[in-house]
Amino acid sequence: MNNTDKSKIKRAPKRGHYDEATIFEVLDTGQICHVGIIHNGYPVVIPTIYGRSGNKLYIHGASVSRLLVQLEKGIDLSLSVAHVDGLVLARSAFHHSMNYRSVVVFGRAELVEDLKKNEALKIISDHLIPGRWEEVRKPNDKELKATKVLEISIDEASAKIRTGGPIDDAEDYELDIWAGVIPLRRQVQDPIDDEKLKTGLKVPKSVWDYVELNQ
């Protein structure tokens, strides 16, 4: 990972991580990223789904998407993914916090050529529901033409992670005030059939595997 002052963690630097294993873990367990650019002189941040393979991230959207059209020009971008793992409640309002895992990536995007577009879309699909790509109809030529896919190299990135309980001022530990952590986790529930589903069709393996792994 090529890190510069741009990606260096400056606030609470002990929470910073720059190794690929940590950065990839945060990215791989996320579902949505936020991509920031400067567009027509003002900042824009757009949420979008993504996928990772090796040190590459993939995002996609409509060919006329404002975000993708600008990124295709090779402008600088910042991409972030974050998880909230708990609310950290201190004895003082000032020291309330969150336990979290986050990653910020800096770089530029490149257009994925048509011959590799299906492969990149499969990576995005597998990021959301592994195995789902093999169970569904693949994009046709018209759909592929209407879709733009971009590749972002993870060459400069940093992770920031907070864990543990509240950190209060020494004198506040004597206060009669409860402090602690409320753990948070994403709740995955059983799948719900589409109301237009053909009679007799069962929930496929990829969906049940995802539900069982995440419940």
CA pair distance 160, 139, nearest whole angstrom: 37
Taking 80 as the threshold, does the pLDDT of residue 1 lie above it? no
CA pair distance 67, 38, nearest whole angstrom: 10
Task: Tell whether 182 is covered by a domain.
Answer: no
CATH classification at residue 147: 2.30.110.10
Query: What's the pTM?
Result: 0.93
Task: Tell whether 4 is covered by a domain.
Answer: no
Task: Tell whether 8 is covered by a domain.
Answer: no
pLDDT digits (tens, 9 = 90+) for 30-76: 999 999 999 999 999 999 999 999 999 999 999 999 999 999 999 99
Q: Give the DSSP H/E element, type plus range, for residue 77.
A: strand 77-89
Domain, as residue range, for 118:
13-86+97-169
Task: Tell whether 206 is covered by a domain.
Answer: no
Domains contained in the chain, number: 1
- Please name which of 113, 84, 88 lies closest in space to residue 100, comparing C-alpha atoms: 84
